[in-house]
Amino acid sequence: MRFDGIEDEMPHLLIRHDEQERLVTLEKPEITIGRTPNNDLQIPDPAASRLHARIVSENGAFALLDCESRNGTILNGVRIEAGKAIPLKGGDEFVIGAFRIKFLEANEAHTPGRIDIVTGIDSRTLALDLRSSRPCAATPSGGEAEARLSLLFQVVEALEALSDPPTLLERIAGVIFEALDPERVFIGVRDVELEGWKMSLSFTGPGRKGEFRTSSQVVGRVLDRQEALLTHALEKPSADSDIIPSAATRRERIRAAMCAPMLAGDTTIGVIYVDDRRRGARFKREDLRYLSLLALLSGAMIAGALRQDLLLRRSLCAERGEPGLFIGKSKAMTQLWRQIESVAQTNFSILLLGETGTGKTMVAREIHRLSPRRDGPFVECNCAAIPEALLESELFGYAPKSGIANADPKGKPGKFELADGGTLFLDEIGDMPLEQQAKILKAIEEKRVHRLGATKPQRVNVRIIAATNRSIEGEIEERRFREDLYYRLAQLRLTIPPLRERKSDLPDLAAHLLTRIAPEIPLKKIRGLSPEALEAIACHSWPGNFRDLENALRYAAILCPDGEAIGVEHLPPEIAQHHTPSKAPRIEVTKPDEEFSALDLAKRDTLIAAIREAGSLTKAAERLGRTKQWAIGQAKKFGIKIVRK
């Protein structure tokens, strides 16, 4: 409902209860009246029905309808018939419970006793008016109107050039002080998931930042209804006031307050709140309309700045992942993949355990890609690679003009802030110093970070994925790792299998890595790996896992002659020694390599290696987990013939 107790150009309702009065303006074509808060006009009286009555207007004429209420509606001393529209004229009075409501025509004079003024503007309707270019009374007339419109154009030009959300908020506050002259200003951007403010600034005067208590009732109603609000009823409200302030709000002695929602589409992304404790009846309805327009413009631009900030953080922090880890269908890999798909949909912290080189970073990236946070940034922090003296500033950032030596005077966000709305990957968490572990624990528990040199914490919404190749339980026993941090990080645990547990995946992994290595040796064409080389690779334990395998293949590719397949003789000695000549059957291949893709050639070599190792096509199929019919079909496809000696 649009309330108004200031203007005289619209009809009003004068509501009397317990010797107090409240004036409400009728601007909507239909007003609902009843006991519950979802009505446009709430009547907190047991005698009132949930939906008691309606006031409707058509062509400037107003009528009252009783909505089949339990106790009826009395108009000018007579109970009206339910469902029948009764025309209203100036001075008519109707009664609902203990409330007496008088209808006043537009411009009808009234000298109130004490009126608690509550004015509201439906911001969604105002936004539609703006989008459809309908005229709306946004500002007062005359020179003041021109000055305010000029300020609006200035703020639009200034805000369009800015991509830093905090700076945007400061500019908006400056315009509000210049145009409306309030005592205090608060601008807050919502964090829906954390049910708080993602970002906020408070000013106790032009250019003076300072904390103060806003009216939670006013702000809450604006957020709930998407309706801008003006009230003079916070200091000493009446019993029937539409806003019932808390004791803490009353102690602030606020004499006038306005609040408007900042909208991005149909979503409320924040509010602009202003108040004044010096002057009563400080703000007028045109002030509220001006604040509403400014909030609508600001909401769109802040949403754009937040999107731009998110894209920037993505480009800075989220490089493309390497898919090599997920090649293969071994039992260990299949189990890991199922676990990844399950944990990705949750918001719990995850601890990844595994030997060095097993692909913990790739697993973390895949969890992020499959999670509801996929559109947010993925930020990595290697806790072992950053000097202890710099780790805190890397994680938490530092404030503008913090006084830190060699620091950017504009300040710098830390990894937590860069990951806001996404995932923070803390690699090598087991190497983090104990002092920093305590600060990480606090940030995770409170969902707030404190930049170095800052006076106010910053709310962050991040999912933590940590990884280590150490035995965390052993580190806890040695008192090198905090047990409480371990339990906070290990809400879910995944263990990444080493390559020695993925023997059946090695041929496909080797083929994939050779494809990645090929551009490094542009003048040479490698035709895959020989069955003997694959056999030697399968027998090696690969203590360095992926990095170890990649280095070995790079070494072999350099030694292998152009146009040939990598043989045992090209592999590093510690790997080649695993190959021993066997009594395997002789195999002939009747179809040339040119007929097949690199992937098909890798599949062919895998089958050949299995036949050599198993001694027959049937046993090779069993080793590969396939049927005999499949093996026969593949042998025919690739022209594989087994020659018995």
Predicted pLDDT of residue 319: 46
Predicted pLDDT of residue 73: 92
The residues with which 259 forms a beta bridge, in sequence order, are 229, 273
- Residues 50-90: pLDDT tens digits? 899 999 988 888 999 999 998 899 999 889 999 899 999 98
- Report how far residue 416's alpha carbon sits from residue 460's, in angstroms, rounded to the nearest whole number: 7
Predicted pLDDT of residue 117: 45
Do residues 479 and 458 both lie within one domain?
Answer: yes
Confidence of residue 212 (pLDDT cuts 50, 70, 90): confident
pTM over 0.75: no
- Report how far residue 553's alpha carbon sits from residue 547's, in angstroms, rounded to the nearest whole number: 10
Mean pLDDT of 295-301: 82
Predicted pLDDT of residue 146: 55
Mean pLDDT of 258-275: 87
Q: Which residues contact 22 (CB under 8 A, 6 or more apart)?
A: 5, 14, 15, 115, 116, 117, 118, 238, 240, 241, 242
Contact 462, 418 (CB under 8 A): no
Predicted pLDDT of residue 321: 47
Do residues 149 and 266 both lie within one domain?
Answer: yes
In a domain, 62, yes or no: yes
Give the DSSP per-residue string, 488-538.
HHTTEEEEPPPGGG-GGGHHHHHHHHHHHHGGGSTT-----B-HHHHHHHH
Do residues 191 and 292 both lie within one domain?
Answer: yes
Mean pLDDT of 100-116: 63
pLDDT of 224 strictly over 50: yes
C-alpha neighbours within 13 Å on the C-beta side of residue 464: 24
Do residues 97 and 174 both lie within one domain?
Answer: no
Q: State CA 114 to chain mean position distance.
A: 46
Task: Give me the domain span that covers residue 260.
Answer: 143-307
Confidence of residue 280 (pLDDT cuts 50, 70, 90): low
DSSP 8-state class, residue 212:
-
Structure tokens that stand for 573 in this block: 């000695």
- Report how far residue 634's alpha carbon sits from residue 618's, in angstroms, rounded to the nearest whole number: 12
Predicted pLDDT of residue 52: 94
Give the DSSP per-residue string, 326-359.
G----HHHHHHHHHHHHHHTS---EEEE--TTS-
Q: How many domains does the chain have?
A: 5
Of residues 316 and 420, the one with the higher pLDDT is 420
Do residues 54 and 158 both lie within one domain?
Answer: no
pLDDT of 3 strictly over 50: no
Give the DSSP per-residue string, 131-179.
HTT-----S-SSHHHHHHHHHHHHHHHHHHT---HHHHHHHHHHHHHHH
DSSP 8-state class, residue 6:
S
Q: Which of 145-149, 376-380, 458-462, 522-526 has the lowest mean pLDDT?
A: 145-149
Mean pLDDT of 171-194: 83
Predicted pLDDT of residue 489: 92
Select from 272, 307, 342 the last residue of a domain: 307
Do residues 33 and 148 both lie within one domain?
Answer: no
With CA atoms as reference, report the closest residue to 159 among 358, 356, 300.
300
Q: What is the CATH number of the domain that holds 294?
A: 3.30.450.40
Amino acid at 326: F
Select from 578, 595, 619 the last residue of a domain: 578
In a domain, 436, yes or no: yes
Q: Which residues contact 33 (CB under 8 A, 6 or more apart)?
A: 39, 40, 41, 43, 48, 51, 52, 53, 54, 55, 96
C-alpha neighbours within 13 Å on the C-beta side of residue 607: 28
% of the chain beyond a pLDDT of 70: 80
In a domain, 420, yes or no: yes
Count of C-beta atoms within a 10 Å radius of residue 295: 29
Do residues 288 and 241 both lie within one domain?
Answer: yes
Give the DSSP per-residue string, 252-280.
TT--EEEEEEEEETTEEEEEEEEEESS-T
- Residues 146-171: pLDDT tens digits? 566 666 665 665 555 555 677 778 88
Do residues 490 and 385 both lie within one domain?
Answer: yes
Q: What is the CATH number of the domain that holds 610?
A: 1.10.10.60
Predicted pLDDT of residue 55: 93
In a domain, 316, yes or no: no
Predicted pLDDT of residue 231: 82
With CA atoms as reference, report the closest residue to 426 among 342, 349, 354, 480.
349
pLDDT of 7 strictly over 60: no
In a domain, 137, yes or no: no
Q: What is the CATH number of the domain that holds 532?
A: 1.10.8.60
In a domain, 476, yes or no: yes
In a domain, 132, yes or no: no
With CA atoms as reference, report the closest residue to 544 among 486, 598, 605, 500.
500
- Residues 338-388: pLDDT tens digits? 899 899 989 999 999 988 888 898 899 989 988 888 888 899 999 888 888
Do residues 534 and 615 both lie within one domain?
Answer: no
In a domain, 117, yes or no: no
Predicted pLDDT of residue 112: 44
DSSP 8-state class, residue 67:
-
For residues 538-549, one letter each, b for 16 or more C-beta atoms within 10 angstroms of the residue's C-beta and e for the rest, the string is bebebebbbebb
Mean pLDDT of 633-642: 88
Predicted pLDDT of residue 154: 59
Q: Which of 66-70, 276-280, 594-598, 641-645 has the lowest mean pLDDT?
A: 641-645
User: What is the residue-averaged pLDDT of the chain?
Assistant: 80
pLDDT of 143 strictly over 60: no
Mean pLDDT of 255-259: 86
Q: Give SS3 for 105.
A: coil
pLDDT of 18 strictly over 80: no
Predicted pLDDT of residue 320: 44
Measured at the alpha carbon of residue 123, what is the angle toward residues 119 and 127, in degrees to the nearest 5? 145
> Residues in the chain, how many?
645
- Report how far residue 303's alpha carbon sits from residue 159's, in angstroms, rounded to the nearest whole number: 12
- Report how far residue 70's alpha carbon sits from residue 52's, in angstroms, rounded to the nearest whole number: 8
Confidence of residue 325 (pLDDT cuts 50, 70, 90): low
Do residues 349 and 380 both lie within one domain?
Answer: yes
Q: What is the CATH number of the domain that holds 44?
A: 2.60.200.20
- Residues 554-567: pLDDT tens digits? 999 999 888 888 88
Predicted pLDDT of residue 144: 58
Q: What is the CATH number of the domain that holds 418?
A: 3.40.50.300
Of residues 591 and 193, the one with the higher pLDDT is 591
Do residues 179 and 300 both lie within one domain?
Answer: yes
- Report how far residue 171's alpha carbon sits from residue 169's, in angstroms, rounded to the nearest whole number: 5
Confidence of residue 1 (pLDDT cuts 50, 70, 90): very low
Select from 468, 494, 520 the last residue of a domain: 494
Do residues 540 and 485 both lie within one domain?
Answer: no
Predicted pLDDT of residue 349: 94
Task: Tell me whether strands 30-34 and 41-42 are parallel, antiparallel or unpaired.
Answer: parallel
Contact 576, 553 (CB under 8 A): no
Contact 640, 531 (CB under 8 A): no
Contact 224, 261 (CB under 8 A): no
Task: Tell me whether strands 99-104 and 586-589 are parallel, antiparallel or unpaired.
Answer: unpaired
Predicted pLDDT of residue 43: 87
